[in-house]
A and B are shown apart, each in its own frame.
Chain A
């Protein structure tokens, strides 16, 4: 589902080029849950942005959900992203003026994947899958952090994308809520999605299948998580 080969990304800085990623090789299959860890500044977010097509690589190949991201023009990526990738952020990033259900319906609207009359029932279904169906008609500000993150996950699933990318989704949650969210991602992987999650959580056993460790923009370790 995800094939990354010899990926590099450098940022232009006043003092010269800054290499955020160098020679990264990673593969993620459908049904796999991969956790990416590393110190602050090691390039985790950079990698995720490249996988989501939000940023362009400086060198290397990157194939996600069947398309070669390094070859496709920027303009075509938006629609692809809406269908192929579900994104989850640390700060939830729900639109404040829309209700939770409307937030979930938004990707269906933009991508035209679901007929208008089917959108709300589908959104409610997704919300009950993440356990917050009761809050469907509240605005995000009325929800707790954990509930907002569940809503964000429901939104990431709106178009049933094969790939889920999450950047520190538990960073703003207490440990028991964080575990529930990790459980959700594990279930998504079991259901066949390729899940890549950047995290600072220490104990991922029982959730992630593999652990990729980045150090200074290089893959230092890529190991299976022991159960």
Chain B
């Protein structure tokens, strides 16, 4: 081996502890990078594959009265249409134990060719018999049922009919049932009719040759116009993006996390650079000697870059196994969350290449500056004993420093701390970056929780019930309020609505044909209402005088193309277009896009003095009281179509982001680890660099305990300063993360919440770690004999 390489290896092995810290830091960061690289590439690809595999409809048109086989054949022949099917979706309820659960029934004709919006049979066969249905594979827990069990499914009158579960299917286009707290069932029109519903295949799903949105929209509008000409009424045109419903969310979130992991890697690179920089600073003289015997800057730089490359390569290789474990663990969790079946676990070919390239290039790039600086030093200044020393007393800070006189330990420790300003800045930067990400992880999770808590607190009602048909407000109130445990009742109107254009045309919607993603409601609450108190983000809430006023929640605002207060808003209910004036917008945690208006403005859709929904406030066991209210309403001759407890809504909301919060916290811990490692490394560097000084102090009579105490004090102050910087940097970062996380989950940025646990935790963690790291270093320093320290090179 070349002598210069030998020297590098010996120097590295002499600094074994520090090399281990450098490797550990990069390994930790690269584990995160690798895990997210795997999760991101595999999930995004597989989600697209399963979604495309269902051959989803390019567009869905809601056609009044349903589409029969003859019409369907004509639609298939329309220009641009390559295939078409007619389906039906019915939202009803199912009795599970002593509770009601929401149930979505997808109605498919037995002769449906199953070429569009395909299902995959997992067990049983299509079509099921009239008294049977197939269940989506994720619906088991929600329905508390398995294949062979019987479900009590409610019909339009509320009376239940037993339906046997004949098998399960996998529907890749749906979010998992548990997440939406809804059961999914697939049955034939005859099976639906058996439940008492009218079978009417009113969802016309067409597939177009070209999948781009403009072409699809044009084709769908053409078909709609043709249908209208045929005397058919089209209520809704949906053109969802040709992507898995959760595509952009998973891409944005995994992208953000990947950025976090790469930030951790940069941090680890800074740590390596700092540590190497310090090791090289201690070798200035040796660098000078090598240059006197002919070493060029380039040669030395290559040796040092070789050292960094060796460290980075070792760390990256060590990170492979943890990255695979964490990556596939996370992939499994996200896949489950998105109801995506992973058929191909392989990462794309470039992912391993990118992994190793990032693991090598980032540390090298970060280390380049200190290495170049060290290698470029001239022989003259490397070997100089003149003038190259620090000029104390020139900077203002120094003058302040020299005033910190006296033999007092604290003054000395503080002066030491400030003497090496560059090193201090670096240590603080490492601690601060690690801590900022740690605290912002915890802050974001706290913000999430508080936003949901707040959203729930702004709903006064404990349950909401939907009636199968509107009924008199007085009847509803009288029937419900006599039930034991009911504190308040408030009937209201809620109707499915569709955004419309100013000229009354139904607009093409960019939403998915499942009932959850893309529902739009028009809700007429009493003015004033006692049941909700949403945070007003613009304008104001409804007033009694607002006959045509409307208030939109954030989802509705974005669905309607961001109208401003004062703008006119057009919504169609059952094909009838109404106009409203936007008086305000509100933030609503959970729930679909909703336009809130007053009862008098919906009289053209429902009779005055009637309502089809009610909010109730209960005391005691909400589920039991709600059950009793249902009984009372039924006794009064009303049919309950759906009831939903507010606490179930919360569960559904939490389920949507649980994994992301978990990952955020895991990454926060990763950052904390790198930050603390950085602190440990720089503390040990600081102490080693002062070895000679400690020797001199001992030579003039300082006891080892005094030195140890001084070093620990210095470390603790560094830890304290670092965590303060971290906490303040964490604030803007939390805002940023909250903005991203909130926007993709609720359409609104999360509020800034400081997690007290996170702040105090980080403060304690960094102080304790700093004290511990410096204690170890100080212990070594104090143990050296005076002679050893004075000859220390």
Contact = CB atoms under 8 A, between A and B. Distances in A.
B292 A106 contact: no
Q: Which of B292, B299, B379 is packed against the most chain A CB atoms within 10 Å?
A: B292
B682 to A, nearest CB: 23
Given A49-B380, A54-B379, A110 B299 contact: yes
Nearest to A102: B3
B285 interface: yes
Interface in A60-115: 74-75, 78-79, 81-83, 87, 93-98, 102-103, 105-107, 109-111
B6 interface: yes
Interface in A130-177: 155, 158-159
Q: Which of A83, A98, A103, A155 is packed against the most chain B CB atoms within 10 Å?
A: A98
A116 interface: yes
Contact of A82 (B285, B294, B378, B383): B294
B373 interface: no
B290 A110 contact: yes
Given A93-B289, A95-B290, A97-B14, A82 B793 contact: no
A220 B254 CA distance: 78
Contacts of B634: none
B420 interface: no
B380 A81 contact: no
Interface residues of A, number: 32
A138 to B, nearest CB: 14
Contacts of B2: 109, 116
B286 interface: yes
Interface string A170-202: 000000000000000000000000000000000
B165 to A, nearest CB: 75
B296 to A, nearest CB: 4
B46 to A, nearest CB: 52
A102 B294 contact: no
A109 to B, nearest CB: 5
B708 interface: no
Given A98-B6, A109-B4, A78 B289 contact: no
B235 interface: no
Contacts of A105: 3
A79 B387 CA distance: 27
B304 to A, nearest CB: 14
A97 B279 CA distance: 14
A119 B296 CA distance: 19
A106 B3 contact: yes
A25 interface: no
Given A93-B285, A97-B14, A52 B292 contact: yes
B111 to A, nearest CB: 82
A109 B294 CA distance: 9
B16 to A, nearest CB: 13
Contacts of B297: 75, 78
Given A97-B10, A98-B6, A79 B380 contact: no
B7 interface: yes
Contacts of A78: 291, 294-297
Nearest to B791: A141
Contacts of B648: none
Contacts of B386: 11
Nearest to B8: A97
Interface in B287-318: 289-297, 299
B484 interface: no
A158 B292 CA distance: 12
Contact of B293 (A74, A116, A119, A155): A155
A94 B793 CA distance: 12
A82 B299 CA distance: 13
A154 to B, nearest CB: 12
A110 B294 contact: yes
B11 interface: yes
Contact of B295 (A55, A82, A93, A102): A82
Interface in A38-66: 49, 52, 54-55
Given A98-B7, A105-B3, A74 B378 contact: yes
Interface in B318-364: none
A159 B3 contact: no
Contacts of A102: 3, 6-7
Given A78-B297, A81-B292, A97-B10, A109 B379 contact: no
15 contacts: A78-B296, A82-B295, A87-B293, A95-B290, A96-B286, A96-B793, A97-B7, A97-B10, A97-B11, A98-B6, A98-B10, A103-B3, A106-B290, A110-B293, A119-B3
Interface of B: 2-4, 6-7, 10-11, 14, 285-286, 289-297, 299, 378-380, 383, 386-387, 793
Interface of A: 11, 49, 52, 54-55, 74-75, 78-79, 81-83, 87, 93-98, 102-103, 105-107, 109-111, 116, 119, 155, 158-159
A-B pairs with lowest CB-CB distance, top 10: A82-B294, A107-B293, A97-B10, A110-B295, A111-B294, A110-B294, A78-B296, A102-B3, A54-B379, A106-B3
